[in-house]
Amino acid sequence: MSKVEGTPITKGAIISTKLNTNESIIEFLKKAMDKKVFDAVLVPVRVPAGDSFAYVLIEDKSLLKDAAPLSPIMSVQGAKAISGMTKLGKGNMKIGAVMRPCEIRATVELTKINQTNLENITLISMDCPGVMPISDFLKDPEKSMKIYEDAVKRSDDKIMRPVCQICDKSSMVSGDLHIGTLGAKKGTFFIVSNSQKGNEVMNKLGIELKDNVDDWRNKVQDVFEEKHKKREKSHKDLKAKTTGLDNLINTFSKCINCHNCMKVCPICYCRLCYFDSDKVKHTSEDYLDQAERKGSIRFLPDTLLFHMGRMMHMSLSCVSCGSCEDACPMSIPVAQIFSMVADETQDLFDYVSGRSLDEPIPLVGYKEDELHEMEDAK
């Protein structure tokens, strides 16, 4: 946690409630709208057909009845929703956005590259139990809702996305406010603030941040250590399976170049991906030349190049949300592989994606004294 967290948060507010987590958060949002702290809120809402969830910007409180801050799936990565709204500038409405920690981290990363404007947005996260893979959820949406609620109650993550199961940043605070459920006594939850904006919101709501939150911090630390161990082991196993060009080619052999992974990734922000552009469109002579060199080439060639290229472009900002794997029609463990590589590349620079708005992305920072270990690399 000390590596993941910035300045440790020691004080917060303990709120009593008779409602469950989803309902408590909705109540909080309603109060904030009543007091005009927020003009509107951005939160996942069940779609009319009932078989999915989508982010909705809500001004009419009555629409909150179908809201599910802890929705069982992540249909659109929240950072994409924020950037969809604010890429072209800041809005005038004060908006409170509730999303998972990884969605807020991705929002922070996108802000560093000018794809969002957070000026009138308050980012609220919560301790995240994970989300189900969309395909599992869709098998029976009604049933899946119950299965999810049940699993969350029992702190059982076996039904969640593979990367959720090994996520050690599920309580990371990088937005403005955070709802803490871990370590809370029954009938209560914590709220902590991570910024001036967060402090002001709590102030306007008349909630003082003077309670001791050690119970939350300690439980978060416990969960972190457990998940971290699990993550290291999982990455070790995966590395063994994917190391070496042959293994890598085989892992991606079923890829059909649909580029879904790139499209749903919150970090991939290019209007026209390099790998969709003219640069990968070659003449028939070039293709035949390539085919002749090996006697046969896959068509379209360069499948692995796409994945390696994408990895190189976004690895430093990858937040391991797992949206890519959910979107892959060929069940390639894209998220697991990209997360594993991202952990290592971010480690090289002592960087954790989305940890803080003040940390520039290592790619654009030049330090004369760094990466000496690379100098003698064989």
Partner 1 sequence: MTMKIGVYICECGPNISEKVDIDKVIDAVSSMSDVAVVDRYKLLCSSDGKKFLEEEIKKHGLTHLVVSACSPKQHEKTFMEVCENAGINPYLFQIVNIREQCAWITEDKDEATEKAIRLTKAAIRRVRYHAPLEKKEIECNTDVLVIGGGIAGIEASLQLVSANRKVYLVEKTQSIGGLLTNFEKTFPDMQPSSALINQKIQSLNNNENIKVFTDSEVEEVLGFFGNFEIKVKKKAEEEPIEFDVGAVVVATGSNIFDPKKTPQYGYGKFDNVINSLEFEKMNLSGKISLKNGKIPKSVAIIHCVGRNEKKYCSEICCMYSLKFVRYLTNKIPDVKVSNFYSDLCLPGKSYQKFYEQTKGNTDFVRSMDVKITEKDGKLNIEYKDETGKKSDLSVDMVILSSAIEPTSDASKLAEIIGMSQGDGGFFAEEHEKLGPVSTSTEGVYVVGSSQDPKSISETMVQSEAAAGEILSSLVPGKKIEPEVKVSHISESLCTGCKTCLSVCSYGVITFNEEKKISVVNEAICRGCGNCAAACPSGAATIKHFTFDQIYQELMEAVK
Partner 2 sequence: MTKALKINKNIEQGILEFLKLLLKNGKVKGVFTLKKINDEGSIAYSLITEPEELNNAVPFYPLMPVNAGKLLSRFTLKGSTKEPVVAVVKPCELRGFVELIKREQGSLENLFIISSTCGGVYPTNMAVDGTIEKNLSKYWDAVKKAEIPAEIRPACKGCVEFIPYTADITVDLIGKKDIDKQFTMLLNTKKGEELAEVIKGEFLEKDLDKETLDKFRDKRKAEEKKLFEKIDSEMKGISGLVDIFGKCIGCHGCMRVCPICYCKLCEFESPDSEYSPSSYESEVKKRGGVRVPQGVLYYQLGRLTHVGISCVGCGACDDVCPVDIPLATIFKKVGESVQKMFNYIPGKDVDEPLPLVTFEKEEFSEVEK
Residues in contact with partner 1 by CB under 8 A are 87-88, 113-115, 269-274, 277, 279, 286, 289, 293, 313-314, 360, 363-364
Strands (E), 110-241: 121-126, 177-180, 188-193, 211-212
Q: C-beta of 110: minimal distance to partner 2 in Å?
A: 13
Q: Report the partner that residue 115 touches, choosing among partner 1, partner 2, none (CB closer than 5 to 8 A by kind).
A: partner 1
List the one residue out of 21, 41, 39 whose CA is nearest residue 29: 41
Using CA atoms, how far apart are residues 21 and 153, in angstroms rounded to an integer? 10
H/E element, 13: strand 11-16
Instruction: Find out whether 258 and 300 touch, Cβ atoms under 8 Å.
Output: no
Tell me the backbone φ, ψ of residue 284, rounded to 5 degrees.
Answer: -65, -35
**What amino acid is encoded at 104 in this protein?**
I
Q: Which is it for strands 121-126 and 95-98: parallel, antiparallel or unpaired?
A: parallel
DSSP state of 177: E
Q: C-beta of 338: minimal distance to partner 2 in Å?
A: 16
Q: Report the partner that residue 360 touches, choosing among partner 1, partner 2, none (CB closer than 5 to 8 A by kind).
A: partner 1
Q: Report the partner that residue 263 touches, choosing among partner 2, partner 1, none (CB closer than 5 to 8 A by kind).
A: partner 2
Instruction: Find out whether 168 and 227 touch, Cβ atoms under 8 Å.
Output: yes
Q: C-beta of 287: minimal distance to partner 2 in Å?
A: 6
Using CA atoms, how far apart are residues 296 and 227, in angstroms rounded to an integer? 45
Closer residue to partner 1, CB minimum distance, 76 or 361: 361
Q: Report the partner that residue 187 touches, choosing among partner 1, partner 2, none (CB closer than 5 to 8 A by kind).
A: none
Closer residue to partner 1, CB minimum distance, 86 or 170: 86
Closer residue to partner 1, CB minimum distance, 8 or 360: 360
Q: Report the partner that residue 331 touches, choosing among partner 2, partner 1, none (CB closer than 5 to 8 A by kind).
A: partner 2
Q: C-beta of 89: minimal distance to partner 2 in Å?
A: 6
Q: C-beta of 109: minimal distance to partner 1 in Å?
A: 11
